[in-house]
Structure 1
Amino acid sequence: MKNWAGNVEYSTDDIRHPTTTEEVSRIVAAVDAGAGQIKALGSRHSFSTIADSVGTLIALDRLDIEPSLQFGDDGAAVSVRVGAGSTYAQVGAYLAEHDLALPNLASLPHISVAGAIQTGTHGSGVRNGSLASSVVALEIVRASGQVEIVREHDQDFAACVVGLGAVGIVTAVTLRVQPHFQISQYVHEGLSWTAALANWAAIMASGYSVSVFTTFRGENTHQVWSKRRLDVDGPELDLAALGATEAMVALHPLPGVTAESVTGQLREPGPWNERLAHFRSEFQPSHGEEIQSEYLIPAEHAVAAITALRVIGDRIAPLLHISELRSVAADTAWLSPSYARDSLAIHFTWKPMTDEILAVLPLIEHTLEPFAPRPHWGKVSTMSPAGLRRAYPRLDDFAAHLSRVDPDARFQNAYLKRVLPHD
């Protein structure tokens, strides 16, 4: 079996599809200590080998855990418990039916809740943290087979919430909710880099969620996607006054691709779960035949980092479908790429050209090195273990945590053994 994009072929044929948490516990407990690796498998949207195993893969897509709301003392819903393998599209539809919402979504609603959280996946917005920042509690099957609930105020929570699948098998997640809201989405084309960089902070803060698409080549950006929340956003930034042209037809971010798969644009208001993601859940998202990389840097270095990447744009552009630039607010998860710092996320959607991508990534990482880049765990990078240790200041603490909760390394694999410190 392969991952969603086909660039990773899993190293085992032992793939289980448990339907209950109890069944997950039995599978984990039955594996002898040190005898094999056990990894969870969500929507298979990771482009790295973080979810690979030579032992057993526990697919979470058939867990029979119905969404359930939790209520505060005033009778209002405060959170929702969902199965770890649930997709954000499924959770979003359930919450919308109950006039509730999550604060944000990633570009794709197709991804599983636990998989997205465990790898530090995010959406966009200067006020919006990663998807992990909405987590209230995790239910984790530990190496013993016992189920442990880790809550947001527990000492171990910051180590577990973005846990790389290494702290155990997450079977259920409780997410903080808020009242339902609507989003109006629109797209501008042709904004010059001169205007974009001169007004970068204002552009990123001009909507609830803002994305700038580019190839890093040429004098203009490709597209600016603005998602404005109708109940909280202030005055609109006039991108036309900066030289951009508002699109009068719906657009896909990839040149030459029809817009049938994208969420509603043209300023037509719609529910949060049908606007915050870029793509509709009933369609194949993005391009499909692709590989992804992403690096997060401190937000204050955004203009300098973009300028540096434009210098090597001729090396990057021939391999790209498109690149996306987004803002992510700081959070507290140790291994979140936006841990303790507001960030610019620099995302690359590559053509399926593995050798060429692996050849250019060291150049990108070297170019971004002055800005302290942190690679996304679920995407392809070539950063060394020493580089990851510099990028993630709590990586040693995380490794120490794993030695306590998984002393026999049942939930590790070749990827984790390569990237984690081993002093």
Structure 2
Amino acid sequence: DLGWNALYDNFDAVMSSGTSVSLFTDWGDTVDSVWTKQRLVAGSDEPISPYLFDAKAATRDQHPVRSLSAETCTAQMGVPAAWADRLPHFRMDAVPASGNEIQAEYMVARTDALAAIEAFRTAIEPHRDMLWISEIRTVAADDLWMSTAYGADTICLHTSFRNDQATVDRILPVIEDALGPFAPRPHWGKVFAATARDLEGRYPKLADFRDLVQRLDPRGAFRSDFLERHVLG
């Protein structure tokens, strides 16, 4: 279990401790678990460290949700394989996560990471009974117009909620208000409350994207209620 203070004091070191790093937490007294995945270099035989600051290395395979079986997860404990069989947390032939959840994820600039994590932690505290688990990860900046990482190295705050749509719908605005100072960009494939107007200032190329949509699809053949509400306005 990685302590919150250890994370805050060593955030960059923790998040760069592997090729891929995910923090899993239910926002309790500790972060809970840190999953690190490392690209192997031919001829290298670097042992796995037994500690990452105040967190101890696991001694068995684990599911991100401690109460669930790790049988659905890809192999752990330093067992090497092709990247496609290790970067995903769950096996392609198994049910991912709990299999019965509602997912939300918000991205903010990495420069705001610690403040955003603390804001999220405070906002979610009264609603922890609705969580399966949350995941914190980072993504490098890109130049794709509607990408949640457009123009900025990014931290991602993902949450798997229990399958209660009405309750989740009440929680989402609370989270989005708490993250508001950090201009969060929601994951397009997960649930969120923000409207197209809310998101206008968060995507510098949104106006260009809307112009492109109008030029290539003037009849609106590929439009949907979702696009109208959350993207096109």
TM-score range, shorter chain: over 0.9
Distance in 2, matches of 1:199 and 1:236, equals: 21
**Alignment of structure 1 residues 53-202 onto 2, 5 Å:** 190-202=1-13
Q: CA deviation at 1:361?
A: 0.7
Aligned to 1:220: 30
Q: CA deviation at 1:418?
A: 1.4
Distance in 2, matches of 1:245 and 1:194, equals: 15
Q: Is the 8 A contact 2:124 2:175 kept in 1?
A: no
Distance in 2, matches of 1:419 and 1:372, equals: 15
Aligned to 1:393: 204
Distance in 1, matches of 2:76 and 2:231, equals: 42
Q: Is the 8 A contact 1:215 1:313 kept in 2?
A: no
Number of corresponding residues: 232
Aligned to 1:207: 18
1:231 to 30, 36, 41: 41
Q: CA deviation at 1:237?
A: 9.2
- Counterparts in 2 of 1:289 and 1:297: CA distance versus 1, 3 Å: same
Matched letter for residue 201 of structure 1: D
Q: Residues 247-277 of structure 1: CA distance to partner in whole angstroms, max 9, x if unpaired?
A: 1110000121111111111111111111111
1:345 to 156, 162, 176: 156
Aligned to 1:381: 192
Q: Is the 8 A contact 1:250 1:265 kept in 2?
A: yes
Consecutive unaligned residues in structure 1, runs of 5 or more: 1-189
Distance in 2, matches of 1:379 and 1:201, equals: 27
Aligned to 1:407: 218
Runs of 4+ in 1 over 6 A off after TM superposition: none
Distance in 1, matches of 2:186 and 2:140, equals: 16
Structure 1 vs Structure 2: percent identity of aligned residues?
A: 39
Matched letter for residue 380 of structure 1: V
User: Is 1:370–2:181 an aligned residue pair?
Assistant: yes
Q: CA deviation at 1:241?
A: 5.3
Q: TM-score, normalised by structure 2?
A: 0.94
Q: Residues 309-351 of structure 1: CA distance to partner in whole angstroms, max 9, x if unpaired?
A: 2223322311110000001001111000001110001101111
User: Is 1:273–2:84 an aligned residue pair?
Assistant: yes
Distance in 2, matches of 1:386 and 1:239, equals: 48
- Counterparts in 2 of 1:237 and 1:335: CA distance versus 1, 3 Å: farther
1:251 to 35, 53, 62: 62
Which of the two has greater strand per residue? 1
Distance in 1, matches of 2:182 and 2:210, equals: 25
Distance in 1, matches of 2:49 and 2:145, equals: 38
Q: Is the 8 A contact 2:194 2:230 kept in 1?
A: no
Consecutive unaligned residues in structure 2, runs of 5 or more: none
Q: Is the 8 A contact 1:206 1:236 kept in 2?
A: no
Aligned to 1:129: none
Distance in 2, matches of 1:236 and 1:322, equals: 29
1:319 to 130, 140, 149: 130
Q: Residues 121-176 of structure 1: CA distance to partner in whole angstroms, max 9, x if unpaired?
A: xxxxxxxxxxxxxxxxxxxxxxxxxxxxxxxxxxxxxxxxxxxxxxxxxxxxxxxx
Q: Residues 28-49 of structure 1: CA distance to partner in whole angstroms, max 9, x if unpaired?
A: xxxxxxxxxxxxxxxxxxxxxx
- Counterparts in 2 of 1:313 and 1:420: CA distance versus 1, 3 Å: closer
User: Is 1:297–2:108 an aligned residue pair?
Assistant: yes
Q: CA deviation at 1:419?
A: 2.1
Q: Is the 8 A contact 1:292 1:350 kept in 2?
A: yes
Distance in 2, matches of 1:354 and 1:294, equals: 15
Two-structure CA RMSD over aligned residues (Å): 1.9
Matched letter for residue 228 of structure 1: Q
Q: CA deviation at 1:420?
A: 3.0
Matched letter for residue 414 of structure 1: D
Q: CA deviation at 1:304?
A: 0.9
Distance in 1, matches of 2:229 and 2:223, equals: 10
Which of the two has greater helix per residue? 2
Q: Is the 8 A contact 2:26 2:134 kept in 1?
A: yes
